Amino acid sequence: MPLCLTFIDLKKAFDTVETEAVLEALGNQGVPTQYIRIFRELYSNFTTRVSPFYDDITIDVRRGVRQGDTVSPKLFTATLEDVMRRLEWDNMGVRVDGRLLHHLRFADDIVLITPSISQAERMLADFDDACGKIGLQLNLTKTMFMRSEWVPDAPFSLNGTNISECSSYVYLGREVNMMNDLAPELGRRKRAAWGAYKSIEDVEKKTKNTRLRAHLFNTTVLPALTYAPETWALRKQDENAVSVIERSIERVMLGLTRLRQVRAGIRSSTLRQQSKISDAAVYAKLSKIRWAGHVMLQNDHRWTRAVSDWTPRNVKRTTGRPPTRWSDFFTKSFKERYDALRVSRTDRTYWTTLAREGDKWKDCWRPLSIPDDQRESSIPIKIPFRDCPTRWGSAFTLICDILDSLPAFEELLTSLKMDPFEEEEARSLRAMNTFLEPFSHMTKQVCSQRATCSMDIAVGQTLIKKAERSTHSTPFYFCELLHIRT
């Protein structure tokens, strides 16, 4: 559909707005007179002093709101609201379910929404004239516009100055583009996440408590990595990209490299059990689910609800597969759930209808909100080898009985008389051969069934090293390492 977005930047907006314009805006919006009188007294007799050539000069300040004051953003927002009410934009903007949406604003971050460049140029000129009356000026070097491919190219200028066109723009900390491509934003999230981790790296290295380290990660790195995930239209490749970024930081937290992880055969799920951090992809999905439920409960004609339910009219869809929509995550999830339960199409409830029922909406996603087992004990769980999934066949069960008796093997390792000049690996291998000698026919049976699954010397050495390090976790490490051979 034809869409043109004009991003407006104001020059020192909070410092240049006139005080009288602020007080007048408060009166126009029905603020009680006693509050207006308090603000008038607060901003009266407000002076600043400069000393050129050692001569003090006192200047009355009649512009700007106090920086750092908690009420200052409210005062500026009220002033800008008064400006917008005076503009005659009733026939401007993009039609959304019978209403015209012509702009969005958050404090001094304003974007004009129009179907053409000519309309955007006219609206920008009107806004510039209205801002000049209250002391505000536009920064034309940073004011830019972005258009979709259905908007014809045309000159865009204001007071003889050309407005620059951009392919993407960072608005409210989120990079937006007309292609709805999340990859550039994920690149920014990656840099922000690493920057957040560097800020806590020294504290994290000195902290031995695993839960405290996970809490530091979840409160600093995770919000930087998943900033504004409620607006994401996640594809599978985007999900993988977020997980890759998180795992790379997780390995640094645990003092591990990717090469060492591969050589040792440690799964990413094992690292997650040790680090106990929250999954970024799941966190992003839960944030989106929570936001969708919040939006659908609104019944006061807000634009968030209207745009979420909106289906463009009189717009011809292009050929080919459409890009991923924001709502596709909910539509696909409920379709898979209904198909699994074999619910007939007539009995299915659309996700927007279900989202209006808060308790039912939460129950639908409760399994997703439960973390795997990363909040359990940091000690790896002892998994009997007979219960581990494998493709080795029935002969593997016999070896499982052997490996489940590893305490006996460790006792044998300590009781054997070892040569003090013997290498550690050779000593361990000799102990393993002594321990497994009565069951050599079982080992040969396994190897004959699948030759590629036989344990070579390198794997054997790794197994023994893991066995020597810890008694309680040995079966777990054996399970992980043996699965590499499959």
Q: Mean of the pLDDT values across residues 137-165? A: 92
Q: Mean of the pLDDT values across residues 299-317? A: 83
Asked whether residue 258 carries a pLDDT value surpassing 70, the answer given is yes
Tokens of 160: 């003889």
Asked whether residue 214 carries a pLDDT value surpassing 50, the answer given is yes
pLDDT at 437: 56
pLDDT at 362: 83
Confidence category of residue 386, pLDDT binned at 50, 70, 90: very low
Q: Mean of the pLDDT values across residues 385-410? A: 44
Asked whether residue 482 carries a pLDDT value surpassing 80, the answer given is no
- In angstroms, the first-to-last Cα distance of the chain is 52
Confidence category of residue 474, pLDDT binned at 50, 70, 90: very low
In the chain, the percentage of residues whose pLDDT exceeds 90 is: 46
pLDDT at 51: 85
Nearest to 380 by CA among 260, 483, 471: 471
Could you tell me if 178 and 3 are in contact, meaning their C-beta atoms sit under 8 angstroms apart?
A: yes
Q: CA-to-CA distance for 232 and 330, rounded, in angstroms?
A: 12
pLDDT tens-place string over residues 321-336? 888 889 999 999 888 8
CA triple 391-397-401, angle to 5 deg: 140
Asked whether residue 343 carries a pLDDT value surpassing 90, the answer given is no
pLDDT tens-place string over residues 50-82? 888 888 888 888 888 888 889 999 999 999 999
Q: CA-to-CA distance for 187 and 189, rounded, in angstroms?
A: 5
Q: CA-to-CA distance for 463 and 445, rounded, in angstroms?
A: 20
Nearest to 112 by CA among 120, 154, 78, 137: 120
Asked whether residue 477 carries a pLDDT value surpassing 70, the answer given is no
Q: Mean of the pLDDT values across residues 192-209? A: 93
Average pLDDT taken over every residue of the chain: 79
Q: CA-to-CA distance for 397 and 391, rounded, in angstroms?
A: 11
pLDDT tens-place string over residues 274-295? 999 999 999 999 999 999 999 9
Q: CA-to-CA distance for 178 and 167, rounded, in angstroms?
A: 7
pLDDT at 446: 43
pLDDT at 44: 85
What residues does 371 pair with on adjacent strands? none
pLDDT tens-place string over residues 429-460? 555 556 555 544 444 444 444 333 344 444 44
Answer yes or no: CATH 3.30.70 is held by domain 4-177: yes
pLDDT tens-place string over residues 217-251? 999 999 999 999 999 998 999 999 999 999 999 99
pLDDT at 98: 86
pLDDT at 127: 95
SS3 for the chain is: CCCEEEEECECCHHHHCEHHHHHHHHHHCCCCHHHHHHHHHHHCCCEEEECHHHCCEEEECCECCCCCCCCHHHHHHHHHHHHHHHCCCCCCCEEECCEEECEEEECCEEEEEECCHHHHHHHHHHHHHHHHCCCCCECCCCCEEEECCCCCCCCCEECCEECEECCEEEECCEEEECCCCCHHHHHHHHHHHHHHHHHHHHHHHHCCCHHHHHHHHHHHHHHHHCCCHHHCCCCHHHHHHHHHHHHHHHHHHCCCCHHHHHHHCCCHHHHHHHHCCCCHHHHHHHHHHHHHHHHHCCCCCCHHHHHHHCCCCCCCCCCCCCCCCCCHHHHHHHHHHHHHHCCCHHHCCCHHHHHCCHHHHHHHCHHHHCCCCCCCCCCCCCCCHHHCCCCCCCHHHHHHHHHCCHHHHHHHHHHCCCCCCCCHHHHHHHHHHHHHHHHHHHHHHHHHHCHHHCCCHHHHHHHHHHHHHCCCCHHHHHHHHHHHCC
Tokens of 29: 């919006």
Nearest to 359 by CA among 300, 305, 293, 299: 293
pLDDT tens-place string over residues 2-46? 899 999 999 999 999 999 999 999 999 999 999 999 999 988 887
Structure-model confidence comparison of residues 380 and 55, the more confident one = 55
Could you tell me if 253 and 275 are in contact, meaning their C-beta atoms sit under 8 angstroms apart?
A: yes
Asked whether residue 147 carries a pLDDT value surpassing 90, the answer given is yes
Identify the weakest region by mean pLDDT among 135-139, 149-153, 300-304, 480-484. 480-484
Whole-prediction pTM? 0.71
pLDDT at 120: 95
Q: Where are the domains of the chain?
A: 4-177, 183-284, 385-484
pLDDT at 455: 41
In the chain, the percentage of residues whose pLDDT exceeds 70 is: 75
pLDDT at 422: 46
Residue type, 60: D
Token pair 């439960």 is found at 370
